[in-house]
Amino acid sequence: MARPPLPVGTHGKIKVNRKPGGGFVAKAKYRDYDGVTRLIERSGHTETAARNRLLEALRDRSSQSVGGLITGDTKFSAAADLWLREVNSAVEAGDMSPSSADLYERQIRNYVTPALGELRIREVTTPRVDALLQVVRKRRSAATAKVVRSVVSGVMGLAARHGATATNPTRETKKISSGRKRSVRALTADERVRWLAQLEADPFAVRKDLPDLTRFMLATGVRIGEALAVSWDEVDLDARMVDIEWTLVRVRGAGLRRIPPKTDSGRRTLPLPLSAVEMLRRRKVDAYPDGALAIGTAAPIFPDVAGGWRDPSNTRRDLRTARGTEGFGWVTSHVFRKTCATILDEARFTPRQIADQLGHARPSLTQDVYVARKIANPATAEVLNDELGT
């Protein structure tokens, strides 16, 4: 009976012989991924050196896959470049936000490549990745370390798909703790009144159009990029509804772009509180006193000074300037979103209904209930109007 072949990716017994001219040669049969068994040999000045060199060659050979773009000997930096190409393709296909791609590329450049870039894929081990994550966690933040972990995991996952590594070393790294979770803080009724009064009394805030933007975000719970991406043709003041179909992001090398939300649940139709409708009617009259806005015109309801789309990053900076350092130093644009959710929660709306309003794909802020409906509960507008209409 014929001897069974070696399993693919394994080697047979190692034999070491003395060479006639001096030194030693180690040999072993190895069955490659194409099914062919080949004789592999390595030399050394000593028997141990020859054996170790052969073991290293066999190990490297087993980490490679025939025809793969990535092998065990590929530098991590090269594999990261390939992974970023996949990320950018996902952005072009609309499956990923450009801002996420920019974040990943920035973390690769700032943290990952300096630490792992020159290593071969087979040298990227769990201890090395774990050490990197702990350094980033200590020097920067847990949030940054988590992004770095996602990047390394993505690159090594790509390497695993190419057969360059048997496992993804990030899986066994130590869990990154963010420390004690901070409680959600939202504006109380009294704080909302004082916040708007502070903005109205500040010439800078008025010039930057922050009072009405705040009112709109409080009344709808939308993200700042979503609020700035709303155009007049997406608002039906008679029906008291607004379509949230876009968000504004700045893409490196491409400028400001108006793109769809990352998830289907982010595209939604929201009812507007009466106070918000009245504010928008006033703005529309001020902007177009002769009513000369053509139907279907994508003109922003919160434009920049030139009448175009307004940069969310610049607007966040304006809010930081207007809030000051005392009293409201903790307020960010996301606080308005939390405030809207808190108002609805206190009014005993279900997590599902609040998730409809906020457009959560995975509503962790609403007890991890995923909601895919596009049209939120019309009663939310009544509650928000009662709370914000004064």
Asked which of 113-122, 202-211, 343-352 is least confident by mean pLDDT, the reply is: 343-352
Of 7 and 321, the structure prediction assigns the larger pLDDT to: 321
DSSP class per residue in 5-24: PPPTT-B---EEEE-TTSSE
Q: How far is CA 3 from the centre of its chain?
A: 54
In CATH, what is the architecture of 76-172? Orthogonal Bundle (1.10)
Q: What is the CATH number of domain 189-388?
A: 1.10.443.10
pTM above threshold 0.75: no
pLDDT in the model for residue 67: 45
Residue 371 clears pLDDT 50, i.e. is over it:
no
Residue 367 clears pLDDT 70, i.e. is over it:
no
In Å, what is the CA distance from 133 to each residue of 82, 142, 152, 238, 279? Answer: 22, 9, 10, 53, 48
The reply to whether 189-388 shares the fold of 76-172 is: no
DSSP class per residue in 242-275: EEE--EEEEETTTEEEEE--SSGGGSEEEE--HH
pLDDT in the model for residue 276: 94
Asked which of 6-20, 43-57, 189-203, 228-242 is least confident by mean pLDDT, the reply is: 6-20
Identify the top-confidence range among 150-154, 282-286, 287-291: 150-154
What single DSSP character describes residue 235?
Answer: E
Of 147 and 63, the structure prediction assigns the larger pLDDT to: 147
**Domain parsing of the chain, residue ranges:** 15-62, 76-172, 189-388
Of 2 and 156, the structure prediction assigns the larger pLDDT to: 156
DSSP class per residue in 307-368: SSPPPHHHHHHHHHHHHTTTTSTT--HHHHHHHHHHHHHHTT--HHHHHHHHT-SS-GGGTT
Beta-bridge partners for 16: 26
Mean pLDDT over 24-41 rounds to: 87
pLDDT in the model for residue 315: 95
In Å, what is the CA distance from 22 to each residue of 9, 52, 86, 101, 332? Answer: 31, 17, 51, 56, 75
The residue behind tokens 């993804």 is 168
Beta-bridge partners for 244: 268
